[in-house]
């Protein structure tokens, strides 16, 4: 874990990656990384549903990273 961890470097993006009826997938990106660091394991029927689950996944990821930093200190 780098000392430069900043939660604002992480974002959720919803992309049209599949075929109907469930074409939407969320992806989590981090500044400085060329591709997504995490993707939804399933596809969603609407962009809104994918965004909602993506935000939950981002919150879990940030909590996990913050906890790892506390364990290092």
Judge contact between 59 and 11, C-beta under 8 A. Answer: no
| pLDDT recorded at residue 73 | 56
- Note down the domain range covering 26: 7-72
Number of domains in the chain: 1
Mean pLDDT confidence for 36-44: 97
Task: Considering only residues 69 and 50, tell me which one the structure prediction assigns the higher pLDDT.
Answer: 50
Residue 26 in domain: yes
Q: What is the pLDDT of residues 48-66, one digit of tens each?
A: 999 999 999 999 999 998 8
Model's pTM, two decimal places? 0.86
Residue 46 in domain: yes
Tokens of 27: 């992806």
Q: What is the pLDDT of residues 3-29, one digit of tens each?
A: 567 999 999 999 999 999 999 999 999
Residue 51 in domain: yes
Q: Return all residues near 50 (Cβ < 8 A) that are at least 6 apart.
A: 14, 24, 25, 26, 40, 43, 44
Residue 2 in domain: no
Tokens of 1: 């874990």
Residue 53 in domain: yes
């Amino acid at each position: 874990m780098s000392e430069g961890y900043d939660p604002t470097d992480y974002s959720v993006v919803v992309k049209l990656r599949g075929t109907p009826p469930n074409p939407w997938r969320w992806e989590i990106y981090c500044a400085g990384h060329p591709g997504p660091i995490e993707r939804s394991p399933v596809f969603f029927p609407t962009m809104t549903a994918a965004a909602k689950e993506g935000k939950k996944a981002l919150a879990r990821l940030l909590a996990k990273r913050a906890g790892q930093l506390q364990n290092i200190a």
